[in-house]
Amino acid sequence: MEPIQAQMVFCCAEQWMGGRCWQIEPWGDGLRLDCGRATTGVYCMEAVDSGENGFCWSRAVVEADLPPDTALRVYAYASDSRSWGEWSDLDEAIRGLEGDPLPVLREVFGPPAAESGDFFIRPQGRYLWLMFELAATGSASPVIRALRLWMRGDHMVDYLPAIYQEEDFTRRFLSIFNSMYADMERAIDGLPGQMDYEHTSGALLRYLASWVCVEGGDSEEALRAGIRTALPDYESRYTVEGVRRSVRRLTGREPILIEHFQVSPNRPDCGDPELYRRLYGEDPYRFFVLLPEDTFSSQREREAFQRDMEELIPAGMSMQMVQLKSCIQLDWHTYLGVNSRVGGYVPAAIDEQVTIHYDTTIGGASHE
């Protein structure tokens, strides 16, 4: 049997706007209870019109993120009329409620239809109202992502003799297996899409990233970006640009890379061989990575960066990291915030017979 199902899906912010929230707020394309401000919240949908009196509603699935110490209750009410009691329009009455609406709404909806997100809707009628109650006792906030309503379609009971099709118990009992079968079919049909790193998320996205040796990443978008450029990144991984890219991804800063041949004290055009030997040594298999002083917030973070870089540099090479301090180079035209000019160095011999002038610089070498 190939099931054909007609569903109504609520998964956009605009679709939730017609309902009424109490202590529940819009969150992306869904709804969230902010546990920092409230422990319980209610959202009541506006009427869903099936267009058919006496309509037999079927299955409903609420896709929600429910961390530990959170709960979801779903209430359902259906009728062929939009009125209830003294209210001529139930939607307008719900929108006009003030204060704590739960006591009034529980009179309308009755006991919860489900304590989870997958349930069978028993009330029948043209119009359907659903109410979601979210609760949290911990620090994590529950989020409702989407709602799926099965409107019509193939059912296992449709393939039985007519005498069984009229039995409500038989339909509800077979709905359990019908739901399991339909879910498996949908999962199989959606498997190719789940293998697309541009659309999948969570553990499966990290699994796909491991196929192309992409690790880390502060966000799922960073993982997708790494997968997207995995091949060219691999081809240039151990080049100068590849090492610069690795440093940039690990630190978020633009590094300065210095190779030995650029600062070799043995070059004919080297202006100060002794200085270069003191700063960069003479090891031709070592390169330097220059980063700002505030790149790392702790010594542990710095050491973790150096360990990660050991896997991302060419074999036989060693890396030395130098963190640069911010400084100001004084020159003849340096502005110090006052109307003054930095002059040249004036040597002075300090004794009891010499007056030190205000523009005298003490210290340094004679060539300065």
Cβ-proximal residues to 192 (8 Å cutoff; 6+ apart), any chain? none
In a domain, 26, yes or no: yes
Residue 263 lies in a domain: no
**What pLDDT score does 89 carry?**
92
Per 3-state DSSP, what percentage of the chain is helix, strand, and coil (rounded to 5)? Answer: 30, 25, 45
Domain count, the chain: 2
Could you tell me if 55 and 136 lie in one domain? yes
Residues 90 and 200 both lie in one domain = no
pLDDT at 83: 92
Calculate the alpha carbon distances from 17 to 27, 106, 362 in Å.
12, 22, 73
On whether both 146 and 54 belong to a single domain, the answer is: yes
The pTM is what?
Answer: 0.51
Which of 199, 216, 235 is where one domain is finished?
235
Domain endpoint, select from 154, 180, 204: 154
149 and 199 inside one domain = no
Q: What is the pLDDT of residue 80?
A: 93
Task: Report CA-CA distances (Å) from 253 to 184, 289, 363.
Answer: 46, 11, 37
pLDDT number for residue 337:
57
Instruction: Specify whether the CB–CB gap between 302 and 296 falls below 8 A.
Output: yes
Residues 12 and 148 in one domain: yes
Sequence-separated (6 or more) residues with CB below 8 Å from residue 322: 288, 289, 290, 291
23 and 138 in a single domain? The answer is yes
Residue with tokens 């379609």: 153
Q: Is residue 282 part of a domain?
A: no
Q: Quote the pLDDT of residue 143.
A: 92
Same domain as 208, residue 147: no
Is 330 contained in some domain? no
Read off the tokens for 343.
């002059």
Host domain of residue 216 = 190-235
107 is a domain residue? yes
Q: At what angle do helices 220-228 and 202-211 cross, to 10 degrees?
A: 30
Let me know whether 13 and 141 are in one domain: yes
Q: Residue 297 falls within a domain, yes or no?
A: no
147 and 203 housed in the same domain: no
Which CATH number does the domain housing residue 87 bear?
Answer: 2.60.120.260
| DSSP character at residue 140 | S
- pLDDT, residue 341, reads 54
Same domain, yes or no, for 123 and 210? Answer: no
Backbone angles phi, psi at 243, to 5 degrees: -65, -40
Task: Kindly report the length of the chain.
Answer: 368
Same domain, 143 and 33: yes
- Residue ranges for the chain with pLDDT beneath 70: 1-6, 152-155, 158-159, 165-166, 216-218, 327-368
Q: Which of 130, 154, 178 is the last residue of a domain?
A: 154
Q: Are residues 196 and 125 in the same domain?
A: no
